[in-house]
Amino acid sequence: MQQFGKEILEMIIAFRREKGMELPANAENEPANAVLNTRQLSYALFQAGKSVAEIARERQMAASTIEGHLTYFVGTGELALDRLIDPAKAAIVMHYFNTNGSASCGMAKAALGDGYSYSDIRFVQKYLEASKIRKTKR
């Protein structure tokens, strides 16, 4: 898809127009989206103001998959942590990891309870990992 997707979609759209066939909604935007990888597409939609639920519905994916895509961008520093999790909740998760070292996501979830999703914990985990890497590079 990444290698030839754009060209194939453009050919399909041209064929459907030529034959007088109806185009699906948003078909015009699809060739541009084809060059983005799946994470980048989720990120672009999020940056355009769509919620995780809206992106999941539009892309026909689970919300947890979209959250996984966005976690990557928290790690790169391109997406601020507070756009995904309330700063007060993030501080509690950070405190947990700072006091419990390399605890797993499952351990954190068990300790923090139902008020915290696995995605909340992963967002903070990725943020902390990236922060440590950035500090070491200085």
Residue 103 confidence class, pLDDT cut points 50, 70, 90? confident
pLDDT at 6: 62
Instruction: Give pairs for 96-102: CB < 8 Å, separation 24+.
Output: 97/124, 97/125, 97/128
Residue 55 confidence class, pLDDT cut points 50, 70, 90? very high
Structure-token pair, residue 22:
């109806």
Residue 74 confidence class, pLDDT cut points 50, 70, 90? very high
pLDDT over 70 at 51, yes or no: yes
CA dihedral 7, 8, 9, 10 (to 10 degrees): 50
The mean predicted confidence, pLDDT, of the chain is: 86
Overall average pLDDT of the 24-53 stretch: 80
pLDDT at 101: 80
